[in-house]
Each structure stands twice: as C-alpha cells, then as structure tokens.
Amino acid sequence: MFFQRGMKKQVYIAYTGGTIGMKKTSKGYAPVYGYLEQQMALMPEFRDPAMPDYTIHEYVPLLDSSNMTPDNWLEIAQDIAANYDKYDGFIVLHGTDTMTYTASALPFMLHGLGKPVIITGSQIPLCNVRNDARENLITALMIASGFFIPEVCLYFGTKLLRGCRSVKVSADGFNAFASPNFPPLGTAGVGIEISKDLILKPAPGTKALVVQKFSEPMVGTLRLFPGIPAEIVSNMLQAPLKGLVLGTYGVGNGPQDKRFIAALKEASDRGVVIVNCTQCLQGRVSMGDYVTGSALAKAGVISGFDMTTEAALAKLFYLFSAGYSPEGVKREMQKNLRGELTLP
C-alpha cells in the first residue's frame, strides 16, 4: 500500500511493522493497514515546510520483528534498490526486538550505497498521547533528507548509530539502543549534530546499488556458560552448519575442557568457521592474553575483535552467500568491510 505527498526532498518510508504504527484494539495493540499514514496526516509537524515529502510503503504482512528472517532482510534491501533512484533518503520502520539484526544485515546486502538508510521505530505507538515514536520518526526524516550519510544507520532516542555497531540494551527504555565500541554518528538535541569524520565514504567508482542476497542460511550463534556440555557444542557444530559465532567470556576466553576444545578443532578442520565474540557489552577479543583464549585459537577459532554478535552473524551470512571458501571467509571476517569492527 502506498501513500504519497507533494514535491520537495523525497524520503521513502518502508514500513515493515512494529510498535510504531500499531493501533489499540480490544485485544491489545496490533498493526492496522493505513493507520500509520492516518496518524501522520493528523499531525501538523509532518506538514511543516522544514519536513521532506515522504512516501509510505506498507509491507504485507506487517511483521512483529520477532518474526523477521533473512528473507525479510532481502525484501527490504530489494525494496530500497527498486526505489533507489527516485528518493533522496530511506527510512525503515521496524520493531525493536530484532532491529539490530536488520541494521547489521543491510550494510552487507546493499553494495554501493550512496544515500542514507535510517532504521527506526518506537517503544510506544505513535497513536498514544505520550510516545517516543513522534521524535524518532521526525528526526529520522530530517536526517534522511538533510545529510549526506551513505550508510545504514539506526536512529533511536536522540542517537544516530552505525547499524552494524548497534545493540539493544533496554527492553522498555526510550534509549533502547547503544553502540558500545564505536561513537554515535550523530546526536539530536537542540540541533542535529553529525560527526562527519566518522561517516563512511562511498566505495570509489561505485555507480549503482547492487543487492547481495543472503542465500546461505547455515550459520548460527552459541553463547558459552559455565559447565556447558561438550556434547552440546559438538552437536551444534555438525553439518550442515558452516559458520558459528561463539559467545565467549571476557577478552575471548572459554573452558579448557579437552572434549570442548576437541569439538571446536574437529569442526574447524572440516571447514566450519568459528568466530570468537565476547559476551561483554564493551571491549574486544584478544585471544592471546590468557591460556584459555590461546587454546581456542589453537583449535582454529578466529577473533571477532570488537564486532557485535549481530554484525558477526550478518557477515558470515554475507561471505558464505558471496561464495567464499572457508579460508576466504576466515580471511574476510578479520577485515573491516562495512565499519563493523576496529582492527588492532
């Protein structure tokens, strides 16, 4: 379903679902087609001369983000590509639960991006008297239309974050997202301040936006816990799994249990790519600091440096889908491709 307004700077709003456009019903809040557009039409802020014109595309069905899959990421990427030449910027309205997964996947799917793609949503629907939806949406529209930011970003609660650096840190707070290992790209207070020196530059020679499909779904994540049975690790690493993000302790440590290490080595030797990402919110993996980290390296586990779990998972999707061999995936995982990691 499309709704369109006049002619100024043009922003395309891909409304995938989520709390921001929900309506209160007898059974609780639920997505209703056309309701978001109706609410925006009632608010004079969206008709202010300072605001861009916008087009709303409602997805069918509107999804709770808990139901998002890589196929939905592809749908969003292809939607942006199909409308790329007609708009100055793009907004993806999305539920908060898996927002950071989409924000991490799209940078690896959208090759040659030269315009802003801002992912946002809200904790309270726009229809409520008290909500965070209004500010998030208004500021996202202004950023998408007013700044040269050729990246996929996440805007929420006054902060503009690089999408593939973002994590969700609160289930119910208005400042629900953070970028623990990289500064915000911008902040919104009295004015909108963008840190231009942090913004990625478009790849030289890039003329067209190209979508990379995630056709290889056989990757996953496993978070360690004290006493984790080696059998669980071994079973997780069985075919058809091709890549695993291993959530370790501290600077990348894990148990020295011989069966645990043997399970990792056996899988690595047959081509499973195992990426070490810390469970800690801040900091980076440094597997040489402790014996317990060195043992993982000797088993073939590679460092994820300061990547988020979401970014590491998306990167595995991307590299396997792009046809890299396991050795090629290991090599590329340790390069900074989309601003997702800080090299030592």
Annotated binding-site positions for substrate: 65, 96-97
Q: Which residues contact 206 (CB under 8 A, 6 or more apart)?
A: 111, 112, 114
Task: State yes or no: is 55 an active-site residue.
Answer: no
AA letter at 255: P
Rounded to 10 deg, the angle between the 309-321 and 99-109 helix axes is: 40
Do the strands 53-58 and 2-4 form a parallel or antiparallel pair, or are they unpaired? antiparallel
Residue 67, SS3? helix
Catalytic residue among 19, 102, 308, 309: 19
H/E segment holding residue 62: none
Q: Which helix (H) or strand (E) holds 330?
A: helix 326-333
Positive or negative: CA dihedral 54, 57, 62, 67: negative
User: Quick one: residue 28, left, alpha or beta (phi over 0 = left, psi -120 to 50 = alpha)?
Assistant: left
Task: Give 31's DSSP letter.
Answer: E
Active-site residue (options: 96, 98, 248, 308): 96
**Cβ atoms < 10 Å from Cβ of 271:** 15
187 is catalytic: no
What is the DSSP code string of 223-273? E--TT--HHHHHHHTSTT--EEEEEEBTTTB----HHHHHHHHHHHHTT-E
Find how far residue 237's CA is from the centre of its chain: 25
Cα 158 from chain centre: 18
Which active-site residues does the annotation give?
19, 96
